[in-house]
Every structure is written in structure tokens, then in C-alpha cells.
Amino acid sequence: MAHELPPLPYDYSALEPHIDSQTMHLHHDGHHAAYVKNLNAALEKHADLQKKPADELLRNINSIPEDIRTAVRNNGGGHVNHTMFWRIMKPQGGGEPSGKIADAIKKTFGSFGDFQKQFNEAGTKLFGSGWVWLVRAQGGKLQIVTTPNQNNPLSDGNFPIMGNDVWEHAYYLKYNNRRGEYLTAWWNVLNWAEINQRFEHSESGVHEPALAHR
């Protein structure tokens, strides 16, 4: 079974003006496609691993053979991270969350505004390329964490509820070096219904729900 690039769930220009069409083309058709291609290439000589979903490979990253472990971490992570990323955004999104995730954010961080502030600060401080996440940690606590490169929180035992891509390829064409502006604008395209589903899934779930949509 080869891993496949999922289509964007909306048009390339649908997230304008916050995320521009050219960035979406390059990000999805270029970067995400390359992660999928390179993941499949890494698994070419490992028939047993080809049957496993990408999130399962990441969850058990230390059991992946050493000769392909880095390639799976980078490209399997790139695939799973971006599959989630497209789905937690939508046109005419944003606003304040509702439902269970809203209650959990309020309980953990005090208010939605405080959560946004801490999330953006973590994204601003992250040096180099990586992701900023809201995760459900072992024991159920919500936490803001960052990961370098394409590392996915599953490899640290944390379930990713939502995450923002702070690689330069995610924002440089439009925002240049102004990462903070991108981090702020991103909240305008969030799909809180999808994030709520991921949160509810995290309470019981084993598998990455975005991949199940393929």
C-alpha cells in the first residue's frame, strides 16, 4: 500500500487573504507531495511497514529500522502533519471556538485570548523550522508544545489536536520574515468543528483521524 497525497479539501485560493494561493500551490503540490513520495521511497525495501498507517509508524518511531528511521520521522511526519493542517483550516473560518474544546481551553489556559497569546509566543520563539501544537498529553492534560523539523507529537506520546506550520515555506511568499503576522492571521482560517472532532477523538483515539478521511 502506497501512501497518497490527499487533495486539498477546498480551492487553493480559498484561504485568501490570510494564506495566498501561490503558497498553497507550492505547499500542497510541492512540499506535501514530496513528503509522500519520499516516505514511499523509504519504505520500498520494508514490505512489513508498508501496510501500517503513517501515524502508527510515528507513534512507534523507535522501533523503525535505523537505516530509515530519520526518513520516516521527516517524511512520515511531513505527510501526517500536513494532512491534519489542511483539514483544520477552512474558508470563512476562525472566530472563537465552541463545544468541548472551548471548555477545555478555558479550563487549561484561563481564556481563549490567553491560549492564543501563549500559542503565538511559542510559535514566534521556535528557532528554525518546526511546528507549534496544542496536544493532549499522557494523562489528558492540554499543553502547547513545539517540535523541530517535521517531528509529530505522536512520537513523544502526545496527541496533536491542532498545529501550525512555522516553516518559512508556509508563509514567506506573503509575510516574508514577519512570522508573527502569519501566526496572528492563521486564527482567521481555523476550522473549529474539525478541531473539536480531533479533541473528542483524542480522548479515546488511537489513530490520526485526518488520515482516516483518505
Nearer to Mn ion among residue 165 and residue 194 (C-beta) = 165
CB of 44 to Mn ion, least distance (A): 24
Site for Mn ion in 107-126 (CB under 5 A): none
- Alpha-carbon dihedral sign for residues 57, 61, 63, 68: positive
Q: What distance in Å separates the CA atoms of residue 185 and residue 131, rounded to the nearest whole number?
A: 16
Nearer to Mn ion among residue 165 and residue 208 (C-beta) = 165
Nearer to Mn ion among residue 24 and residue 104 (C-beta) = 24
Nearer to Mn ion among residue 55 and residue 165 (C-beta) = 165
CB of 96 to Mn ion, least distance (A): 26
Nearer to Mn ion among residue 167 and residue 187 (C-beta) = 167
181 Cβ contact list (under 8 Å, min separation 6):
175
CB of 63 to Mn ion, least distance (A): 26
CB of 75 to Mn ion, least distance (A): 12
Residue number of the CB closest to Mn ion reads: 165
SS3 (DSSP) at 98: coil
Site for Mn ion in 142-201 (CB under 5 A): 165, 167
Q: What distance in Å separates the CA atoms of residue 168 and residue 204, rounded to the nearest whole number?
A: 34
Nearer to Mn ion among residue 97 and residue 153 (C-beta) = 153
Give the orientation angle of helix 112-125 with respect to helix 99-109, to 10 degrees.
70
Nearest Cα to Cα of residue 129 among 172, 97, 160, 89: 172
Bridge partners, residue 136, by sequence: 142, 159
Cell of 162: 491542532
CB of 184 to Mn ion, least distance (A): 18
Nearest Cα to Cα of residue 179 among 105, 127, 104: 127
CB of 206 to Mn ion, least distance (A): 25
Residue 74 backbone dihedrals phi, psi, to 5 degrees? -75, -50
Q: What distance in Å separates the CA atoms of residue 79 and residue 18, rounded to the nearest whole number?
A: 23
> In the complex, which residues of this chain contact Mn ion (CB under 5 A)?
165, 167
